[in-house]
Amino acid sequence: MSTPIAPVEQKRKVITAIPGPKSTQIIARRAAAVSASLGMSMPAVIERAAGGILVDVDGNHIIDLGAGIAVVNVGNSAPHVVENVQRQVAEFTHTCFMVAPYLGYIEVCEALNRLTPGKFAKKSVLLNSGAEALENAVKIARSFTKRQAIVVFEHGYHGRTNLTMGMTAKNMPYKDSFGPFTPEIYRMPMAYPYRWEGGAAACEKDALDVVIHKMDKEIGGKNIAAIVIEPIQGEGGFIIPPKGFMPGLAKYAKDNGALFIADEVQTGFARTGQMFASEDENLEPDLITTAKGIAGGLPLAAVTGRADVMDSIHASGLGGTYGGSPVACAAALGAIKTIEEDKLVDRAKKIGAIMSDELYKMKAKHSIIGEVRGRGAMQAIELVIPGGTEPNTAALGKIVKYCQEKGVLILTAGTYSNVIRLIPPLVIPEDLLREGLSILDEAITAVLNESLVSA
């Protein structure tokens, strides 16, 4: 059907400067043709990718510690994904599921209903992006509860559409000048152990009470349609609330007739060493939003949850032209098959342990690392001015740039833009992962030696 292409050699190779001459030319065309509003983490134009490697147009082989922002958990062009997509695209490309249905959409919903936590009857609806999943989860919660207030959290990220911008915490770059935002979104303090006043122990003891008090006094429990939270905050800097915080919120929602919605767009699909991060504290969210890791790189998203809630919406109330496209569904079935067959949940635990070990070794050496945190293959370091907790944004950019020049792609995060997050494809070979981590260590050492950290 298609011409076979050579496998991508799983080896780091830096043969030109990055960007090399070909990338530089194409990036100039990008600047002329593409809106300047779009960011670019890595100035290398990619031509091929697989496993733990991205190959650029100049032939550089770059170690991928970002997975396209936790999307290609199964790796780029994973064989089951390629096979399913090629077959589907040759069979038919679009009918619109609401015009004439097809099996793939139904099978993805069946898989989601089976895989998501919650021992109750579930149903799903498919959309195109994470933000669209959040939009729909809010529509469903408001319609089901006949209430309007939506509770979100500091440092939370839920997307860039108008509603989800309002739900997202960070102003720059996501919200600045783009308002007004929608009403009835209430932002609560986040249980952020590293930055909680009084430290992690105080956070564990007090955070839930603080949030519950605010919800009671400032919103009123009976007005809340839903509490929406990421089990581990992604863009916010891989913030993990203390044990008990999430179950406490879920209980408050239940006691007050509100829905508890877990935004698992970034944490889902084996990333954290569970199929979904909610499983870690035996949470059974009423609704779960998913996207990123769902379809091996094709655009797909979902809301999955309690059947009584999902079925409470009036006929034709939800939908969209492309949501659950047959090609994206075929990809999702290939990705899910890969996660299950290749035991990527276990693999996430394994590479998570390697990353965490190496990061703790770095923390012991470099006082610029304020905290190491993460779960499974979702690990981060928070950079500070040594001796305190003041965010070290200046060092972050320099460390990232050093890694890029050596052919290692790492991503950043955090409200204070001082977090390095590692979210490699779960199929990355162990030697590449270790090499990437040792270059990160080298980068921190180099930046410290330039004594730029106190800048």
> Under the rule (CB under 6 A), what is the footprint of ligand PLP?
129-131, 134, 157-159, 230, 234-235, 263, 265-266, 291-292
Number of Cβ atoms within 10 Å of the Cβ of 269: 30
Query: In terms of CB distance, is 57 or 71 closer to ligand PLP?
Result: 71
Beta bridge partners of 290: 302
Query: In terms of CB distance, is 187 or 401 closer to ligand PLP?
Result: 187
Query: In terms of CB distance, is 290 or 392 closer to ligand PLP?
Result: 290
Dihedral of CA atoms 140, 144, 148, 149 in degrees, nearest 10, equals -80
**In the complex, least distance from residue 129 CB atom to ligand PLP, rounded to whole angstroms:** 4
Query: In terms of CB distance, is 271 or 406 closer to ligand PLP?
Result: 271
**In the complex, least distance from residue 380 CB atom to ligand PLP, rounded to whole angstroms:** 14
Query: In terms of CB distance, is 2 or 37 closer to ligand PLP?
Result: 37
Choose among 135, 203, 134: nearest CA to 373.
Answer: 203
- Residue labelled with tokens 């298609």: 2
**In the complex, least distance from residue 247 CB atom to ligand PLP, rounded to whole angstroms:** 19
Q: Is the dihedral of CA 69, 179, 125, 83 positive or negative?
A: negative
Number of Cβ atoms within 10 Å of the Cβ of 110: 14
Beta bridge partners of 53: 50, 63
**In the complex, least distance from residue 130 CB atom to ligand PLP, rounded to whole angstroms:** 2
**In the complex, least distance from residue 167 CB atom to ligand PLP, rounded to whole angstroms:** 9
Query: In terms of CB distance, is 65 or 385 closer to ligand PLP?
Result: 65
* Calpha distance 300→285 (Å, rounded): 21
**In the complex, least distance from residue 134 CB atom to ligand PLP, rounded to whole angstroms:** 6
**Count of helices and strands (H, E) across the chain:** 13, 15
**In the complex, least distance from residue 18 CB atom to ligand PLP, rounded to whole angstroms:** 26
Query: In terms of CB distance, is 295 or 309 closer to ligand PLP?
Result: 295
Question: Do residues 447 and 392 make contact, with C-beta atoms less than 8 angstroms apart?
Answer: no
Residue type, 159: G
Q: Is the dihedral of CA 37, 39, 43, 44 positive or negative?
A: negative
Helix then strand then coil, % of the chain, to nearest 5:
40, 15, 40
User: Which residue sits closest to ligand PLP, CB atoms considered?
Assistant: 130
Find all residues with CB under 8 Å of 408, minimum gap 6, and list them. Answer: 12, 62, 63, 65, 436, 439, 440
**In the complex, least distance from residue 354 CB atom to ligand PLP, rounded to whole angstroms:** 23
Query: In terms of CB distance, is 52 or 159 closer to ligand PLP?
Result: 159
